[in-house]
């Protein structure tokens, strides 16, 4: 408890110094540009979160020792609300979480750095033997990624498959759905979308005789994006027609080639072939996306692809042969030792992410 109080006071003092320095050095908000206003708000918000995490880590001991009563407060909720602006639900969550972490000291300490909401996601999954591993995930993964990890681990423990999906419909799909909904009897249009979909699937199953249809990619089903336009490439931006599709890596590559040409004083037309580039060619990206129909390559994931991931890190292979398309969440899985073994490149990736968030 003494160590916790000491570390909390240190953080509070540091935060006060930062807040004071920020308010003293910056101009009045009316004279700040948009970028500076955002930067100042972001900095203060992060400091506020750090203070909140420390306060929540102190609460269980304050509650157990009834310190709040000695200072004239009827409940711990009143104490935390008036002195620290903490909501009733957050305080309640912190107190309940303490009971789940009685034999998990590393996770108790993680509240100071990660907060009760992130720790609560994996509190029931961790054991005294595995808490060290889970603390590593807490410190290096985002909240959405932790939530997905929790769902997948719970599914493996219970042997159940994912049963809740979210399907995003475009305008054409929605029109078709609503038309079919009206055909579901006299009150079809009054059914909920979930119940309407259930009846459509049941009717379709009856018509097919319970047999699964044979679907061949590119024959029976035509990807929606292919019917209307070319597959969108994650991370790419549309430029003028002469430029085509180029991302930042490709721009940098071109600039480096121009710089090399100007420094050498000769044309690169007859020079040796350029070294391997981290930039993935557009044709290669389209081929990768076609393998998963534009979706994430992680098993049973229904999210669209957002990132091109080197299963064998590019720093090791200097090749794009191992690239797969992943959503952001499963990209975090890959770099945090969940779906792939960690490498030195992963440690650098996580260090960079931590620096950007601090």
Of 75-89, 145-159, 267-281, 332-346, the one with minimum mean pLDDT is 267-281
Question: Rounded to an integer, what distance in angstroms lies between the CA atom of residue 22 and that of residue 44?
Answer: 9
Of 113-127, 270-284, 324-338, 342-356, the one with minimum mean pLDDT is 270-284
**Domain boundary pick from 130, 158, 186:** 158
**Domain boundary pick from 125, 158, 191:** 158
Residues 154 and 258 in one domain: no
Q: Is 307 helix (H, G, I), strand (E, B) or coil?
A: strand
Residues 22 and 83 in one domain: yes
Residues 35 and 110 in one domain: yes
Q: Which whole number is the average pLDDT over 80-100?
A: 95
On whether the CB atoms of residues 303 and 296 are closer than 8 A, the answer is: yes
The two tokens of residue 268 are: 């690169």
Residues 254 and 321 in one domain: yes
For residue 270, being part of any structural domain is answered with no
Whole-prediction pTM: 0.63
Question: Rounded to an integer, what distance in angstroms lies between the CA atom of residue 198 and that of residue 219?
Answer: 26
Residues 105 and 43 in one domain: yes
Q: Which whole number is the average pLDDT over 83-98?
A: 95
Flag whether pLDDT at 62 surpasses 70. yes
For residue 236, being part of any structural domain is answered with no
Q: Residue 2 — φ and ψ, nearest 5°?
A: -65, -40
On whether the CB atoms of residues 284 and 308 are closer than 8 A, the answer is: no
For residue 267, being part of any structural domain is answered with no
pLDDT for res 351? 83
Q: Which whole number is the average pLDDT over 308-334?
A: 92
- As a three-state string, the secondary structure of 252-278 is HHHHHHHHHHHHHCCCCCCCCCCCCCC
Residues 83 and 54 in one domain: yes
Residues 207 and 139 in one domain: no
**Predicted confidence band of residue 183 (pLDDT cuts 50, 70, 90):** confident
pLDDT for res 164? 61
Cβ atoms within 10 Å of 210's Cβ, excluding its own: 7
Q: Which whole number is the average pLDDT over 285-305?
A: 93
Q: Which whole number is the average pLDDT over 319-329?
A: 94
Q: Residue 238 — φ and ψ, nearest 5°?
A: -80, 130
- If one compares 9 and 130, the residue with the highest pLDDT of the two is 130
pLDDT for res 155? 80
Q: Is 49 helix (H, G, I), strand (E, B) or coil?
A: helix
pLDDT for res 348? 85
For residue 163, being part of any structural domain is answered with no
Residues 153 and 9 in one domain: yes
For residue 76, being part of any structural domain is answered with yes
For residue 289, being part of any structural domain is answered with yes
Q: Which whole number is the average pLDDT over 342-351?
A: 85
Flag whether pLDDT at 150 surpasses 90. yes
- If one compares 275 and 112, the residue with the highest pLDDT of the two is 112
DSSP 199-267: HHHHHHHHHTTTPPPP--BTTTB--HHHHHSPPPPTT-EE--TTT-EE-HHHHHHHHHHHHHHHHHTS-
For residue 223, being part of any structural domain is answered with no
- The residue range of the domain holding 312 is 246-262+277-357
For residue 54, being part of any structural domain is answered with yes
Residues 87 and 145 in one domain: yes
Q: Is 192 helix (H, G, I), strand (E, B) or coil?
A: coil
Residues 198 and 81 in one domain: no
pLDDT for res 15? 57
Q: How many domains does one find in the chain?
A: 3
Flag whether pLDDT at 126 surpasses 60. yes
**Domain boundary pick from 95, 124, 158:** 158
Question: Rounded to an integer, what distance in angstroms lies between the CA atom of residue 323 and that of residue 67?
Answer: 57
């Amino acid at each position: 408890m003494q160590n916790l109080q000491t570390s909390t006071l240190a953080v509070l003092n540091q935060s006060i110094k930062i807040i004071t320095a920020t308010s003293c050095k910056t101009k009045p908000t009316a004279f700040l540009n948009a970028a500076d206003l955002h930067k100042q708000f972001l900095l203060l918000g992060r400091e506020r979160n750090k203070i909140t995490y420390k306060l929540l880590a102190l609460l269980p001991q304050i509650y157990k020792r009834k310190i709040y009563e000695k200072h004239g407060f009827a409940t711990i909720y009143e104490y935390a609300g008036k002195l620290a602006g903490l909501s009733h639900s957050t305080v309640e969550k912190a107190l309940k979480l303490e009971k789940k972490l009685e034999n998990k000291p590393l996770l108790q300490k993680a509240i100071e750095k990660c907060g009760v909401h992130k720790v609560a996601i994996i509190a029931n999954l961790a054991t005294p033997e595995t808490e060290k591993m889970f603390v590593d995930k807490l410190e290096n993964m985002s909240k959405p990624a932790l939530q997905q990890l929790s769902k997948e681990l719970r599914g493996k423990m219970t042997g159940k498959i994912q049963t809740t999906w979210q399907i995003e419909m475009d305008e054409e799909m929605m029109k078709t759905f609503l038309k079919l909904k009206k055909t579901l009897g006299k009150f079809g249009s009054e059914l909920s979308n979930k119940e309407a979909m259930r009846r459509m699937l049941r009717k379709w199953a009856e018509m097919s005789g319970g047999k699964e249809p044979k679907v061949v990619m590119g024959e029976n089903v035509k990807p929606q994006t292919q019917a209307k336009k070319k597959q969108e490439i994650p991370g790419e931006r549309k430029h003028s027609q002469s430029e085509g599709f180029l991302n930042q890596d490709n721009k940098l590559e071109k600039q480096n080639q121009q710089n090399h040409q100007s420094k050498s004083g000769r044309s690169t037309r007859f020079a040796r072939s350029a070294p391997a580039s981290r930039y993935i060619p557009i044709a290669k990206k389209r081929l990768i996306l076609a393998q998963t129909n534009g979706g994430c390559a992680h098993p049973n994931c229904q999210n669209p692809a957002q990132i091109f991931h080197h299963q064998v890190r590019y720093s090791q292979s200097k090749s794009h042969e191992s690239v797969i398309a992943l959503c952001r969440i499963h990209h975090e899985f890959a770099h945090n030792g969940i779906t792939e073994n960690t490498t030195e490149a992963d440690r650098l990736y996580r260090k960079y992410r931590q620096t950007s968030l601090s």
